[in-house]
Amino acid sequence: MKNLLALVLATVLSVSAAFAQTVPSPTINAKSWLLLDASSNQILASQEPNMRIEPASLTKLMTAYVVFNALKEKKLDLNQMINVSEHAWRVDPSSSKMFIEPRTPVSVNNLLYGLIVQSGNDAAVALAEAVAGTEDVFVSLMNREAERMGMTSTRFANPHGLPSETNYSTARDLSILASRLIIDHPQYFATYYSTKEFTYNNIKQPNRNRLLWLDPTVDGMKTGYTNGAGYCLISTAKRPAGNGERRLISVVLGTTSDQARAAESQKLLNWGFLNFDAVRLYTKDQAVATPNVWKGTQNTVKIGFTRDLWVTVPKGTADKIKPVLQRKDPLVAPIDKNSQVGTLKIEIDGRTAAELPVVALEQVGEAGMFGRAWDAIRLWMH
């Protein structure tokens, strides 16, 4: 199932240029940037999306993701008190910190606010040790998740993003990470990433994401800065779209200032919302078709998608979308639920813009001996 989801995501991402090529790309003053429509998983525009960059504190998105996994699996609890190690406390004192102290245990919940809102490098190390015992073991978990997500040009060397030759990523990979965090851990995303300020140890620090104050539709995600990386920002906004909502994720890397990363990110988000429409073709588990099944315990099977299927197109072209279903006929039982049984081609103006796997939405068992024999004769005569 995970492999099939990865196939769907990779397929849509790879064909996004066919949708967007008729809309001129915006001019964004950054070394590398990318705009992703998270509803359809389509890249709407990009510049140098595969350039290897230093992710700086954007690394903390993966740190948070691994911690959220531990919370989801009940290996950690938000109210659990963590003893702060000397190693966590002594993290580069010139870098961003939440100012935890070895003599004062701190809750996982507060450490997450410190990690996400205050961008505390000390919080990153403390959480890493809480989850995995040591920072090195935690980093191996980070890299395992990156590999599982298909972040093929990423390697993490630490949980905080302080400079290291073996800590690198790309705009494309970071867009995948941001999208997976929102999809896989929506409750934690909603809790932490839109928080504008947090106080710990009597020290109030603001979220460095300026867009949280400038645009009410922005609800995340993370800033980053080092001398080598420049000023970076992954931002995301959710705005109304038809009878639902549509989310865009912008990745802007290597700008010249705090103000510039906010301004360029805002420009990119606005460009995406103004120039494209997202169209929901099918809802999750909606039957696209109910084809016949041979040699099965039932005569038909519902086929479709295990997630809402959205397509993003240039404004004014939604009526030109034509979905074409191609099945793997004849469908012979047994058929496993979520197994691929066909392909949906999405055509716009006669051009194929995407091909997506269609799956069985239900299990179909094998018929008895008589039923199989009878259908074998029917198939031979068909």
pLDDT tens-digit map of 67-108? 999 999 999 999 999 999 999 999 998 899 999 999 899 999
pLDDT tens-place string over residues 169-228:
999 999 999 999 999 999 999 999 999 999 999 999 999 999 999 999 999 999 999 999
Residue 44 DSSP SS3? strand
DSSP notation for 316-327:
T-GGGEEEEEEE
Q: By C-alpha distance, which of 216, 222, 342, 225 is closest to 289?
A: 342
Q: Which residues are catalytic, by number?
A: 57, 60, 119
Close Cβ partners of 21 (under 8 Å, ≥ 6 residues apart): none
Q: By C-alpha distance, which of 156, 165, 108, 105 is closest to 135?
A: 156
What one-character DSSP code corresponds to residue 349? Answer: T
Which pTM was predicted? 0.87
Residue 332 DSSP SS3? strand
Residue 257 DSSP SS3? coil
What one-character DSSP code corresponds to residue 228? Answer: T
Q: Apex CA 343: angle with CA 339 and CA 349, to 5°?
A: 160
Question: How many other CB atoms are there within 10 angstroms of residue 228's CB atom?
Answer: 10
Length reported for the chain: 382
Close Cβ partners of 136 (under 8 Å, ≥ 6 residues apart): none
pLDDT tens track, the chain, 382 positions = 444 444 444 444 444 445 555 688 899 999 999 999 998 888 999 999 999 999 999 999 999 999 999 999 999 999 999 999 999 999 998 899 999 999 899 999 999 999 999 999 999 999 999 999 999 999 999 999 999 999 999 999 999 999 999 999 999 999 999 999 999 999 999 999 999 999 999 999 999 999 999 999 999 999 999 999 999 999 999 998 876 789 999 999 999 999 999 999 999 999 999 999 888 889 999 999 998 887 778 889 899 998 888 888 888 888 888 889 998 778 887 889 999 999 998 888 777 777 888 999 999 887 666 555 555 556 566 6
What is the C-alpha to C-alpha distance for residues 342 and 79, in angstroms, rounded to an integer? 47
Query: In this structure, are residues 113 and 60 in contact, taking their beta carbons and an 8 Å threshold?
Result: no
| Run of H or E residues at 245 | strand 244-255
What is the C-alpha to C-alpha distance for residues 134 and 108, in angstroms, rounded to an integer? 16
User: Side chain identity at 80, as an amino acid letter?
Assistant: Q
Within 13 Å, how many C-alpha atoms sit on residue 356's CB side?
32
Buried b or exposed e, range 127-144, using 16+ CB within 10 angstroms? bbbbbbeebeebbebbee
What is the C-alpha to C-alpha distance for residues 263 and 375, in angstroms, rounded to an integer? 64
Q: In the beta sheet, which residues pair with residue 366? A: 296
